[in-house]
Amino acid sequence: MAQSSSNGQDKSSNTYEALNKIGRGAYGTVYKARDKQTGQEVALKKVCIPLSEDGIPMNTLREIALLKQLNAYDHPNIVKLLDICHGQQIGKDLMMFLVFEHVEQDLAMYIEKHTKGFKTTEIRNLSKQIVHGVDFLHSNRIVHRDLKPQNLLVTSDGHIKLADFGLAKTYDFEMKLTSVVVTLWYRSPEILLGLPYSTAVDIWSIGCIIVELFTRKPLFCGKSENEQLNEILRVLGKPPKDEWPAKNAPIKWSSFDINEKVDIKSIAPSMCENVLSLVMNMLTFDPNKRITALEALNHEYFLEEPINT
């Protein structure tokens, strides 16, 4: 069928003109590009879909369906998906392009730029938007799983847009581009321990990010799972023994030699009582005791008058 190739393939290169590479993550490459017709700047995320004997795998289709459906809500804190198109097929892999609105920068760059730090009101504003976006994902039963400043985009007028959820995350292990190191810094204890996890992992990440907004430095910087856990426990202290998932955890509670904890307050002295309380509720060891996104939105910190911060 000769027509099909002209209709179904390589719409991407006909429609978009790639400008430059703007990011390379563990699962794909992101280019800045321009829509040839409208001139609109977009972000093209190239992902590689391994084709099965029966075409595009069911999971990929389900995730795309979900991405599209979420997109229809037009949530202010979720990056807008403008288009999806196929690229070439290389062997058993199909290239696909997810076309997103192009956003000025990510939060990592934004933090870096603000060498003098943020105003407390801005931190609260950014934090609230992150929680809003995450609450939206969670209410749609999506766990982001990889929240970090690089995956939070910041528009030129200071709005947060969550990026990089959904697609390609199901291939986790096979699909990683091996040269890219995946950061562990925002990972929750249950992930580090290899335990089953849920929406609470995203809350943990937000806790880390909020502290980072105050200090402009990542809170816990481990180089391995073990080191990362150690970092966490060094700062927060060991949880009570009965909170340690004794049966399932591959690492013993007693293997951590930790006596006293460093206070978050001493790491980020400019944090007020309310934000400290929120962050501590987010950095709770037991995922079941961690605050939820919806609860967080109703936390004192987000309700207080702007003046008080």
Partner 1 sequence: MPGWYFDKQELKHTPSGAAGLDYKTEMRYRKEGARFIIDTGMKMDLGYNTTATGVVYYHRFYMFHSFQQFPRFVTACCCLFLAGKVEETPKKCKDIIKIAKALLADNKFATFGSDPKEEVMTLERVLLQTIKFDLQVEHPYLYLLRYAKCLKGDKAKLQKMVQMAWTFVNDSLCTTLSLQWQPEIIAVALMYLAGKLSKFEVVDWVGRNPAHLRWWDMFVEDVTMDLLEDICHQVLDLYSQPEVKSSSESPPPGASRPAAASPSNQSTSRQSNGATTSTTASSASTASSTSEKTQISPETVPPPVNTRIPPPSDVPYPYQTFTHAPPPISYGTPVSFAPPVNTPPPLLGPSPIPSLLSAPPPNAFPPFVNQPPPFTPVVPPPNASFFGNGLPQGHTRHRPPFFPP
Ligand X SMILES: Nc1ncnc2c1ncn2[C@@H]1O[C@H](COP(=O)(O)OP(=O)(O)OP(=O)(O)O)[C@@H](O)[C@H]1O
Indicate the residue whose CB is closest to ligand X: 25
Examine residue 28 and tell whether it contacts Mg ion (CB under 5 A).
Answer: no
Query: Is 209 within 8 Å of 186 (Cβ atoms)?
Result: yes
Selecting among 146, 242, 257, 263, the annotated active-site residue is 146
CB 188 within 8 A of CB 205: yes
**CB under 8 A, 24+ apart: contacts of 33-37:** 33/99
On whether the CB atoms of residues 87 and 94 are closer than 8 A, the answer is: yes
> How is 84-138 classified by DSSP, letter by letter?
EEEEEEETTEEEEEEEEE--SEEHHHHHHH-TT---HHHHHHHHHHHHHHHHHHH
> CA 174 → CA 24, 49, 79, distances in Å?
17, 11, 26
Question: Which residue number, 8 or 240, has a Cβ lying nearer to partner 1?
Answer: 8
Residue 257 known to be catalytic: no
Which residues contact partner 1 (rule: CB under 8 A)? 1, 3-5, 7-9, 11, 54-59, 61-66, 68-70, 72-73, 75-77, 83-86, 94, 125, 128-129, 132, 135-136, 139-143, 145, 159-160, 165-166, 169-170, 198-199
**Contact status: 166 vs ligand X (CB under 6 A):** no
- What sign has the CA pseudo-torsion 230, 236, 241, 245? negative
Q: Mask: binding to ligand X, 134-153, rule CB under 6 A, as x and -?
A: ------------x---xx-x
> Please, which residues have CB within 8 angstroms of residue 19's CB and are 6 or more apart in sequence?
31, 32, 33, 34, 41
- Length of the chain in residues, anyone? 309
Answer yes or no whether residue 26 interacts with ligand X by CB under 6 A: yes
- Cβ closest to ligand X, residue 42 vs residue 123: 42
Between 164 and 212, CB nearer to Mg ion: 164
Cβ atoms within 10 Å, residue 141: 9
What minimum distance in Å lies between the beta carbon of 106 and Mg ion?
A: 8
Query: Looking only at Cα atoms, what is the longest distance across the chain?
Result: 71
According to CB under 6 A, which one of 70, 75, 94, 100 is a site residue for ligand X? 100
* Least distance in angstroms from the C-beta of 187 to Mg ion: 14
- Name which of 53 and 257 has its Cβ closer to partner 1: 53
The answer to whether residue 76 forms part of the interface with ligand X (CB under 6 A) is no
Asked if 163 interacts with ligand X (CB under 6 A), we say yes
Of 33, 43, 213, 233, the residue at the interface with ligand X (CB under 6 A) is: 43
Residue 36 assigned to a binding site: no
Q: Tokens representing 130?
A: 């992150």
CB of 13 vs Mg ion, minimal distance in Å: 24
Position among 77, 127, 129, 151 found at the interface with Mg ion (CB under 5 A): 151
Listed ranges 48-56, 97-105, 195-203, 210-218: which one lies at the site for ligand X (CB under 6 A): 97-105
∠ Cα 27 31 34 (to 5°):
145
Name the 3-class secondary structure at 24: strand
Show the tokens assigned to 276.
Answer: 């400290």
**Shortest Cβ distance from residue 86 to ligand X (Å)?**
19
Question: What are the residue numbers of the active site?
Answer: 146
- Binding-site annotation, residues for ATP: 45
Question: Which residues here bind Mg ion, judged by CB under 5 A?
Answer: 25, 151, 164
Question: Which residues here bind ligand X, judged by CB under 6 A?
Answer: 22-23, 25-28, 30, 43, 45, 79, 100-103, 106, 146, 150-151, 153, 163-164
- Binding-site annotation, residues: 45
